Amino acid sequence: MDAISVIRTKRDRGELTPEQIDWVIDAYTRGEVADEQMSALAMAILLNGMNRTEIARWTAAMIASGERMDFASLSRPTTDKHSTGGVGDKITLPLAPLVAACGAAVPQLSGRGLGHTGGTLDKLESIPGWRAHLSNEEMLNVLDTTGAVICAAGDGLAPADKKLYALRDVTGTVEAIPLIASSIMSKKIAEGTGALVLDVKVGSGAFMKTIEDARELASTMVALGTDSGVRTVALLTDMATPLGLTAGNALEVRESVEVLAGGGPKDVVDLTLALAREMLDAAGLKDADPEKALADGSAMDVWRRMISAQGGDVDAPLPVAREQHVVTAPSTGVLTRLDAYDIGVAAWRLGAGRARKEDAVQAGAGVELHAKPGDEVTAGQPLLTLHTDTPEKFDYALKALPDAYDIAPSGTAFTATPVVRERIA
């Protein structure tokens, strides 16, 4: 078998055979299929799709490329969450310790930024000393002693996905539903969690722009998880507007700590609690009260132990960008739209994301929001603050923002979109 014949099959809208899928995933993992060949295949999949049989086999091949973990030794039930990526989506940071404080074990394998969307590991690495990479033994120990761990997938866990994940980020193929579904579910199934809650974003700042595409992705992943014996449920959540008031790495860590301290933006708190309830219910802990655990400080206690267990200094100041630029409101009225995609692109251009898989990110870079849709604004007041260590990036970031917001006359009625739009089980 050879890569060119596999690429041509999908290029010509054919169905890949199980043998073709098994071979190309294995050969790519071993380096026999080059990055440029897998890029061509990924683009063909983006353009021509895969059916359910192909997606299931692709996912199984990704899992088979590495090892599978086992948390049977833990005394707590395991439950995990995965987001398909958004702008300002720092939910994992307060969510994992919150669910652990309620009695579950949360083995949270997270990733880095993809395109305009932020990455949980990039955010947490802005905490001095924090380590994303743990051995399986270290991961199990942190999970056992603190109840939650957030880390990178080990090299032995779905290594095919690790290679393909980075490739998709820089080849314009992130949005391919079959590749998103198989990427997420191969890691989660191999991870060995007993239950999984999927946060499938929908809107301008998400990879799924329409509710129909979000439903398709959610349904695909729920089916993959359920068929593999993992209790799986999905929430479709709004990503037309950035979550919270920050988009960037250290900026979002700071906001997450505010949530754990009992404050923080309402949309972040509401979504954190909604996902926590789903995770606890899926783990058989439906009587647990996450709102109480957030209010009484027990979630913050788990956060501090979890970060410390991975080498992080929870009391150290977070990095701050050396330069800021303020964008002011051009008129007085009601802010009716703040586009998540445009804000995400601006944050990415400021240094919060990467253009190539080898690129580093700036810990302090990003965008701070001073108003959300529904708020009254006054001409000249700060609307956004851009943060970066490299001021020459401001002009490029500002080019993403002319159409990022709408301001209607004062008194204009505004109805907010619910943060949770649908549930699929």
161 is catalytic: yes
123 is catalytic: no
Catalytic residue among 187, 201, 231, 393: 187
Catalytic residue among 10, 81, 82, 215: 82
The C-alpha angle with vertex 131 and arms to 128 and 134, in degrees rounded to 5, equals 170
Catalytic residue among 183, 186, 228, 256: 183
Please state, in angstroms and rounded to a whole number, the distance separating the CA atoms of residues 209 and 92: 22
183 is catalytic: yes
Catalytic residue among 57, 90, 168, 421: 168
Q: Are 344 and 116 in contact (CB under 8 A)?
A: yes
75 is catalytic: no
Catalytic residue among 89, 161, 169, 238: 161
**Among the listed residues 138, 61, 54, 156, the one whose alpha carbon sits nearest the alpha carbon of residue 310:** 138
274 φ, ψ to 5°? -65, -45
Which residues are catalytically annotated?
A: 82, 161, 168, 183, 187
